[in-house]
A = this chain, B = another copy of it.
Amino acid sequence: MPEYRKDPITNRWVIISSERSNRPIQKIERKEISEEIFCPFDKGNEHLTPPEILAFKPENSKPNDENWWIRVVPNKFPAVIPDISPKFKKNGIYYSLDGYGYHEVIIESQKHHHKIYNMSEKEVEEIIWAYLIRFNEIKKDKKIKYIQIFKNYGSDAGASLEHPHSQLIATPIIPIYIEEELKGAKNFYSLKKKCIFCSIIEQEKIDNIRIIEENEHFIAFEPFAPRFPYETWIIPKEHSSDFGILRKFPEKVKSFAEILQHTVYNLYSLLGDIPYNYMIHTSPFDNLNNNFYHWHLELIPRLTHAAGFEWGSGFFINSISPEVAAKNLKKQRR
């Protein structure tokens, strides 16, 4: 029997309907993206991107030379730009604001075909370090309220290049999904004097049917009301509202990299080389330290296309229950 389930944070409902998995829909397969001539992220093509903002490389290397293993550059086709003084505009009932912000690309490796699931643990850890350095650097810009760190893997997940990379977009506006999570988390806190994410971890440990993996500092699980089949969240076990604080705990960075890599590996092992997105949710800069919000990573495999019902209603139909998904993913653990 299908079931409506409510996400306890945002009060968004989803429909879990295993019946739907029988319909004759084409499964999305990740298609390799062919670059037309060359890849701007390959070694030797450093001049084809805007100058680097950060690079992990041997000491005494020159900026933009070939000796990097992780490289952060401004996006060549930016959604927002840092070199303007943003102004608000009003026209009747309409409001707009100049597109101030940062849009950067984290090039994760020199190897064009490298994947998170076959990187060394150290390589994944260093990607997280690159996120943390940029997060804590951009935070100093008082005009910026939020940084969204995310990865698009595969063209069906919105990637335009095959070369392994993540992105960040920093904006003077707090995104609406984060606002909604913050609102839900604040409500819960005012009622229960507890962080809702901490309560979710507790409940998940009691129910013990949606957890995929747990290590010293993190837990990976299928949320109770997932929008997408095999949607997986990774969350620090101890309350932590600020992703950026991780820089003070190298052993936690290691633990986070480990569980992220396992999560991506499990999906690959079960479902093949599927497209996916992940995004890190954290508190906005103006309230980084709080008791009610808990930073986490959300990973969504892109196995089906959201359709008119989803886009029209915000109601998601998910044909695989998180309990079945967790069971299948747990079997893959290496």
Residues of B within 8 A of A306 (CB): 158, 306
* Interface 1/0 per residue, A293-334 and B, CB below 8 Å: 000001010101111111111110100000000000000000
A22-B77, A76-B23 known; A155 vs B279 contact (CB < 8 Å): no
Q: Is the CB of A92 within 8 A of B203?
A: yes
Cα–Cα distance between A8 and B35 once the two chains are bound (Å)? 40
Q: Do the beta carbons of A12 and B307 come within 8 Å of each other? A: no
A26 on the interface (CB 8 Å rule)? yes
Residue pair A93, B311 in contact (C-beta under 8 Å):
no
Identity of the chain B residue whose Cβ is nearest the Cβ of A148 in the assembled complex:
B313
Query: Nearest chain B CB to A25's CB is how many angstroms away?
Result: 4
A152-172: which have CB < 8 Å to B? 152, 155-161, 167, 169, 171-172
Decide yes or no whether A249 CB sits under 8 A from chain B.
no
A73 at the B interface (CB under 8 A): no
Q: Enumerate chain B residues within 8 angstroms of A156, measured Cβ to Cβ.
A: 305
- In the complex the two chains form, is B171's CB within 8 Å of A315's CB? yes
Interface stretch, picked from A96-104, A132-140, A214-222, A257-265, is A96-104
Taken residue by residue from 117 to 154, chain A's Cβ proximity to chain B (1 for < 8 Å, 0 otherwise) reads as: 00000000000000000000000000000001011100
Asked if B157 and A305 make an inter-chain contact with CB atoms under 8 angstroms apart, the answer reads yes
* A 9-36 binary contact with B (CB < 8 Å = 1; else 0): 0111101110110111110000001011
Interface flag for A114 (CB, 8 Å): no
8 example contacts (A-B, Cβ-Cβ < 8 A) are as follows A3-B96, A3-B98, A20-B78, A150-B309, A169-B315, A177-B312, A277-B311, A280-B312
Residues of A within 8 A of B (CB): 1-6, 8, 10-13, 15-17, 19-20, 22-26, 33, 35-36, 76-81, 84, 91-99, 148, 150-152, 155-161, 167, 169, 171-173, 175-178, 180, 196, 199-200, 203, 206-207, 224-225, 277-281, 298, 300, 302, 304-315, 317
